[in-house]
Amino acid sequence: MWDYTDKVKDHFLNPRNVGKIEGADGVGEVGSLACGDALTLYFKLDGEGRIKEARFQTFGCASAIASSSALTEMLIGLTLEEAEKITNEQIADYLGGLPKEKMHCSVMGRDALEKAITCYRGDAQKKIDGEIVCECFGVTDRQIERTVRENHLTTIEEVTDYVKAGGGCGNCHEKIQAIIDAVLGKEPLAAKRPVHLTNLQKIKLIEQTLEREIKPALNQDGGDIELVDVEGNTVKVRLQGTCASCRKSHITLKHHVEQKLRELMAPELMVEEVSG
C-alpha cells in the first residue's frame, strides 16, 4: 500500500474539475491506455487571457487522478505565461508529496499542460521533441534530459519513477545512463578491455556477484537464487523461496539478475531459469 498524504487521498476520492470542456481553448493529451496511464487536460480562457476553467479526464491510478485534479486547481486564475512555469515538483508539493514510484503522474500532468498550451497557440501537430529512447513508453531523450535536470535524478531507477522510461524491456538503460552522465557532467566510462576467462573462473565470478549484489535484495523479500550451471554465456539459475512462486519471477530474472550480471561482468550474458 502506497503511503499517500491526506491531500492525495482527498483529491483521489473527491477529484475536482472532472470532465470535458466543450469548445476548449486548449486540449492536451498524454499517455496511452496501453501504458496504463492516460490524461486529457482542457482549459478555457476569460476575456483577459486568464484560465477561467480547467478540467480533466484520466485513466490511471490514485496518484494520476490526484495529480490531475490538483493541477486544474492550480491553473484557475493564471495566465498562460504563469501556467507554463508550473513544474511537476510543484504539482507534487501541492499534494503534500507523492511516493517516488508515482512521480511520473505529476510529470504526466505537466506534459499535458504543455500540450494544451501548444494546442492553443496553434502548434498542435508539433513534431516530437527529440528522439525516442524508450520504445516501450515512447519517451524521448529530451524528456529524460529535462526530467533528470529539473529533479536532480542520478539513477535509471529514478528516471523510471518519474517518466517510466526503462521500466519495460530494459533495452534503453544504456542510453538513459548516458543521458544522466551527460547532465551530471560525468565522463563516459572507458570501454573495458575484454578478458578471456576459463569456465571455472566465470562460474566463480558469477557466484561472487550473486552473493554480493543479487542475493541480499532477494533475501529481504524471502526469496533466494542458486547457480545451477554456466554454459557458454548462458547462466542457469534456480529461484527459491518466495521468488520461486512469484508470478513476476521472469521480470526479476531479466530486469534484476541478468541486468546486474551484464553490468558487472559481461554484456553478452543471458540468464535462464531451471525449474525443479
For every residue of 168-224, DSSP letters joined together read: SSSTTHHHHHHHHHHHHTPPPPPPPPP----HHHHHHHHHHHIIIIIHHHHHHTTEE
Catalytic residue among 105, 119, 134, 243: 105
CB atoms within 10 A of CB 9: 14
- Residue pointed to by grid coordinates 562460474: 203
Would you say 88 and 50 are in contact if contact means Cβ atoms under 8 Å apart? no
Cell representation of residue 244: 520461486
- Let me know if 35 is a catalytic residue: yes
Question: Which amino acid would we find at residue 172?
Answer: C
Q: Which residues contact 92 (CB under 8 A, 6 or more apart)?
A: 67, 98, 103, 106
Q: Which residues contact 80 (CB under 8 A, 6 or more apart)?
A: 45, 49, 51, 117, 120
CB atoms within 10 A of CB 137: 23
CA dihedral sign of residues 160, 161, 162, 164: positive
Question: Do the bridges between strand 223-231 and strand 51-59 make them parallel or antiparallel, or are there none, so unpaired?
Answer: unpaired
Q: How far apart are CA 70 and CA 148, in angstroms?
A: 23
Catalytic residue among 35, 134, 172, 243: 35
Q: How far apart are CA 79 and CA 63, in angstroms?
A: 26
- Let me know if 119 is a catalytic residue: no
- Residue 241 forms beta bridges with which residues? 223
Active site residues: 35, 105
